[in-house]
Structure 1
Amino acid sequence: MSNFATPLPLELSPSWTFDGDDGSWSSFALTVGSPAQSFRVFPSTSGSEVWLPLPQGCQGILSGVGDCGDLRGVNAINGTASSGFQTNVSSTWDLIGIYDLAAEQNLFDNISGQYGLDRVSLELLTESNNNSSATVDAQTVAGFASGDLWLGSLGLGTAQANFTVQNENVPSLLETLKTQNLSTSLTVGYAAGAAYASPADYGSLILGGYDQSRNDDNITISLGGADNQTLGVSVQNILAENTIDGTVSLFQQPAPLIATIDSTTSQLWLPQSLCDLFASAFGLTYDSVTGLYLVNDTIHNQLQQSNPTITFTIGPNTTETDSINTNIVFHYAAFDLQAGIPIYNSSTNYFPLRVAANESQYTLGRAFLQEAYIFVDWERQGLTIGQVVHQNTTKNIVPVLPPSNNGGGGGEALSSGAIAGIAVGASVGIVSAVGILLFCILGSRRRRRRMAEDDADQKPEIETADAYMAESKSDAYLTELDSKHVRPQHELMSEQVHELAEENKRSEMMGTPLAEMADQPVGSELEDSSDFADKKKQHEVFELP
């Protein structure tokens, strides 16, 4: 790597459309296979792979939906409509077999995918607006037919894929991009966009840096471990104003609630008690068939006129209340969503709320990221979060180098901007000055810690965004929250072990049907034509760590 110039961050191109069966979400453009097949996908903060809809998902009761493929983000091939990823058309497709989609098993049971390796190209934005892409071969790709996952997804994690029929792990897309000197570092800056903004705000996705102009009033917290692949935060309070019940607290918990930020799902998955408070404040009606909270026309008009606001107070991933937090404010428009096929036959107003079965399902989905900007530094295990700034006119993309960059080709990693990021250093003199300053800061902190240890009631110091920026310069990001860090129960590790799909899952491979046709499958059976099919039962199946 020392012989190569430091690459610039990759700014992924939105598809310039809003997609989804449960809302209008800003999707991103990529191609897979040879010849290339084009898709619109959603970023996944919990996954590390590329997931794509298969043609089988448009069969069964959806066979009469002429634009089923387009609804699922599948673009036409040479002017001919496509209903899904056609593995048999790609000359670079290397089939592995049918495995569980482990990253989302916590929220949706019995989802399996047809796994293989193939070429993946990410479409990029450039200053000259010329077509550009970042292409890597032999990446983990899974095809699915389930209705629970309507569009495909682009994994933003770094966990390697482990299959029981292969001897070697498959690196994540982010890791491959960095290894091949296409991306600066294992960092991600992401905002989901907002169709309701004026003008419409398309999503922002940066690999190897972040967009400083997108973020305001942020905090940085530790993710709590080198192998952690879960974006855990605490919800400290939820306050709603101008609701049907007036100004009310929607958070009546004895302690902060530990939740995972996961853009793979659209909704907020919260305890029943909190969902009941939301339902009362917004006049919601629970649909036991789909599990969604609906809004009738009368209430819908009332809420649009009163325009309630909801403020989430977000803090570090600990059950202890602390003063380090940030507020993410939503207007009702962010939660004024419509669900359609395959959930309902026609567009139906609903509120993006779901009842979590247990603590492991507490999740802040894509709806939350409409108003929150996140910067994830997997190498330093830091998550920065703050209110997003809705705009498409100006950018300030800050590159972030890895914690150690001794190759000589690029600058030293330095901090810059309101977000916890590390911009490329300009000179050795600046680096030296920063190092001296850092030594003084850290020395002062050590003295403060020794003083704090004498006070039994003193809470451990919590890193702020500024502290994260300073300490990351020395490649010594201190995770002082580790002693009180609460790992979500469905935490993903740096190695993602895929279980072979059970026979009944392999034959079904289906998900949410149309509400009034609950007994019928969405699509048809997926066949496993893998060369490994006859060997599957000979291999041990490992559980997730």
Structure 2
Amino acid sequence: VPFAMTWSSTAFGPDGPWQAVQVNIGSPSQQVALYPAGTFRSHLLTPRICSNITLSPDTCYASAAGLYAVESSTTAVDTAISVPAAIDYTHGGLQVQGTPGISVLDQINIGVAIGSGNTIVVPNVTIGVYDDVATVYPSGSLYGLQVGTLGLGYLGTVNQSFTQLGLPSINGSLIPGYLEAANLAPSNTFGLHIGSANLKIQGSLYFGAFLGIEPVDDGKIGLIDLLDITINVIDGSSPFNTSTINNLLAAGNSSIGPALPVPLLPEAPYLDLPKSTCDAIAAWLPLTYNADLGLYTWNTNDPQYSQIVTSPSVLGFVFRKDQTNTENLTINVPFMLLNLTLEPPLVSKTIPYFPCNAQSNGRYSLGRAFLQAAFVGANWNANNNQGVWWLAQAPGPNTVSQSSVETIGDQDSSIASSSDDWADSWKGILIPLNSQSANTTASNTTSSSNTTLSSKTTLSSKTTNTSHELSVGAKAGIGTGGAVCGLLMISLCACLCLRKRSSDQEPSS
């Protein structure tokens, strides 16, 4: 039977709100909320981060998710492992500074098993603990990280083995591998949907299962090829002067080429893209660029703002579907999901923002902002421990995300499809515009973003304020036959999109 993680009733910032799973660590137990993310170890913040007057001068924001005091746990092993944990546990999703973490082992109570009702405690989980770690923004300001991560396993791995000169090896558990080995889950796998706290789309994290979607062929090893980013209007009249805007990924930047390989990083918040791409998108939206943060804030007084974030207008991410190069997959992210909130200490008062990070310094990735609208999962043991992973369109608020859970076997490399309809899952939430309510002024100006749209950016229609049928890009994301989503499945070798930097990998067994 698959194992379903429990999610915290609290959402976290300062750039979300974001949902996180809830666990209890050590003995006596310490309750902590964590973002499900990354390979190998989990990452936890300690109470000492609150005593850092630079990171927590007035308020310790990290305490909201819970902090882990290793010295208070009688089940912790904190002195036997000399291997430090890498500073940046966002793996390039944020610009991170601080001191390396300390490697420890401790038990994690991950919750109650489906069916049996038994509480499951995973012993000796590999953990990195941090006293001093912060994000650096373009202005040079430092802001302490506020939430740690729960590791999602690795290729064919049950234990992470730490070898030390002259001493016996020490094994730390990886949660999905342990669950399968202990017959507490059907496979060494995970399936994750971050969901949306704002729209009450419940997150889901299963070990041994994934949400049912349409299977496709094996793809290439490694990163996802992002081919384009588009703006589409799924239904009704357009708040732009067109129903579809293409070629935003490479607009004004010939160095990008035919594809941009990107990882998926649920440990990081933003859409980390080239500044030229962020500017090309922003040129169509009522946004202002905040150079101190490298992010864009919504101009809420512009009438187009409410039209865009409440209508079926989406940002489409077009991926190469498989290694044959013959098919694409589009994941549609409604702008309603990209109307997020900046909070203190990043800003003095809360403000809506668009999560395109224009200062990612060449380390491009898609973080939680994207994964609000997508499922991601992996079978670490498939293909003789080379692994497969899946990416799919996730439904909106009208679908119970746990309704189509698909159990995954040890060597399964494909999963069944769902009969859910993506458009129906947003019905009544995203309200189509009529010709009278749609804004007749296009937003491809430079007044808010100070950018110029490349001549390579193309429009599929020049018609203003007319009702359009579903665009080709939108159809690709929704799938055919009423299926909720398409599926991208990629074989894994030593590299996964939810990847660990080599500096944070230790030998495993």
- Work out whether the TM-score is over 0.5: yes
Correspondence 1:142 to 2:150:
no
Q: How does 1:396-411 map to 2 (within 5 A)?
A: 396-403=404-411
Give the Cα–Cα distance (whole angstroms) in 2 for the partners of residues 206 and 377 of structure 1. 12
> Per the alignment, do residues 85 and 27 of structure 1 end up closer, same or farther by CA in structure 2, a change over 3 Å counting?
same
Aligned equivalents of 1:154, 1:285: Cα separation in 2:
34
Three-state SS of the structure 2 residue aligned to 1:234 is: strand
Does structure 1 residue 273 correspond to structure 2 residue 276?
yes
Alignment partner, residue 156 of structure 1: 152
Partners in 1 of 2:206 and 2:414 — Cα distance?
17
For residues 311 and 190 of structure 1, the distance between their equivalents in structure 2, rounded to whole angstroms, comes to: 20
**Counterpart position of 2:245:** 248
- Residue in 2 that maps onto 1:392: 400
Question: Quick one: which amino acid aligns to residue 29 of structure 1?
Answer: Q
Task: Tell me: CA distance 1:494–1:120, structure 2 relative to 1, closer, same or farther (3 Å).
Answer: farther
Point out where structure 2 has 5 or more consecutive residues left out of the alignment.
136-144, 233-237, 251-255, 419-478, 480-488
In structure 1, the residue matched to 2:227 is 236
Tell whether 2:60 aligns with 1:57.
no
Shift of 1:137: 1.3
Report sequence identity in percent. 23
Inter-partner Cα distance in structure 2 for 1:330 and 1:354: 16
SS of corresponding position for 1:303? helix
Point out the structure with max Rg over C-alpha: 1
1:110 pairs with one of 97, 108, 112: 97
Q: Give per-residue Cα distances to partners, 1:37-81, cap 9 Å, x unaligned.
A: 00111110x33222112112223156565573543x11xxxxxxx
Q: C-alpha deviations, 1:363-417, integer Å up to 9, x for none?
A: 11111111111231122222222211233375233322212xxxxxxxxx69652
Residues 139-190 of structure 1 deviation map (CA, whole Å, 9 limit, x = unaligned): 1112224233321211113166465747455342222222222222111111
Is the contact made by 2:340 and 2:353 (CA closer than 8 Å) also made in structure 1? yes
Counterparts of 1:83-482 in structure 2, within 5 Å, are 84-95=67-78, 96=81, 98-101=84-87, 103-107=89-93, 108-111=95-98, 112-124=100-112, 126=114, 132-144=118-130, 145-148=132-135, 149-158=145-154, 161=160, 165=164, 167-168=169-170, 170-197=172-199, 200-212=200-212, 215=213, 219=216, 221-222=218-219, 224=221, 232-241=223-232, 242=238, 246=242, 247-249=244-246, 250-252=248-250, 254-299=257-302, 302-307=304-309, 308-316=313-321, 322-355=325-358, 357=360, 361-380=363-382, 381-390=387-396, 391-392=399-400, 395-403=403-411, 417-418=416-417
8 A Cα contact 1:243 1:281, kept in partner: no
Secondary structure of the residue aligned to 2:231 is: strand
Query: What is residue 457 of structure 2 aligned with on the other side?
Result: none
Indicate conservation of the 8 Å contact 1:175/1:186, yes or no: yes
Contact 2:109 2:121 in 1 (8 A): yes
For the Cα contact (< 8 Å) 1:47–1:103, is it kept in 2?
Answer: no
Q: Give the SS at the match of 1:281.
A: coil
Matches of 1:492 and 1:105, distance apart in 2 = 7
Question: Do the aligned partners of 2:217 and 2:322 also contact (CA within 8 Å) in 1?
Answer: no
Tell me the CA shift for residue 102 of structure 1.
5.7
Q: What's the secondary structure of 1:85's corresponding residue?
A: coil
Separation in structure 2 between the aligned mates of residue 21 and residue 220 of structure 1, nearest angstrom: 39
Q: Distance in 2 between matches of 1:268 and 1:183?
A: 33
Rounded Cα–Cα distance in structure 2 between residues aligned with 1:141 and 1:487: 21
Q: Distance in 1 between matches of 2:281 and 2:71?
A: 47
How far, CA to CA, are the matches of 1:396 and 1:293 in structure 2? Answer: 36
Q: Confirm or deny: 8 A CA contact 2:224 2:497 kept in the other structure.
A: no
Which structure 1 segments of 5+ residues have no match? 1-7, 75-83, 225-229, 404-412, 420-464, 466-477, 499-541
TM-score scaled by structure 1? 0.64
* Corresponding position of 2:31: 38
SS class of match (1:311): strand
Task: Tell me the amino acid that sits aligned with residue 122 of structure 1.
Answer: I
Q: CA–CA distance in 1 between the matches of 2:209 and 2:275? A: 38
Residue number in structure 2 paired with 1:497: 505
User: Quick one: structure 1 residues 310 and 63, their matched pair in 2 at CA, closer, same or farther if it must change by over 3 Å?
Assistant: closer
Distance verdict in 2 for CA 1:354–1:377, change over 3 Å: same
Q: What does residue 519 of structure 1 align with?
A: none
2:239–2:307 Cα contact (<8 Å) kept:
no
Per-residue deviation, 1:344: 2.1
* CA positional deviation for 1:15: 1.5
Q: Deviations over 1:286-327 (max 9, x none)?
A: 32322222223324x532223332111222476x8x332222
Q: CA 1:162–1:273 in 2, change beyond 3 Å: closer, same or farther?
A: farther
Backbone CA RMSD of aligned residues: 3.5
Show the counterpart of 1:68. 61
Counterpart of 1:18 in 2: which secondary structure? coil
Deviation at 1:357, TM superposition (A): 4.8
**Distance (Å, rounded) in 2 between the aligned partners of 1:122 and 1:21:** 25
Kindly tell me the number of residue pairs found equivalent between the two proteins: 396
Find the aligned partners of 1:19 and 1:220 in 2 and give their Cα distance: 37
Contact 2:105 2:172 (8 Å CA) reproduced: no
Cα pair distance change 1:218/1:239, threshold 3 Å: farther
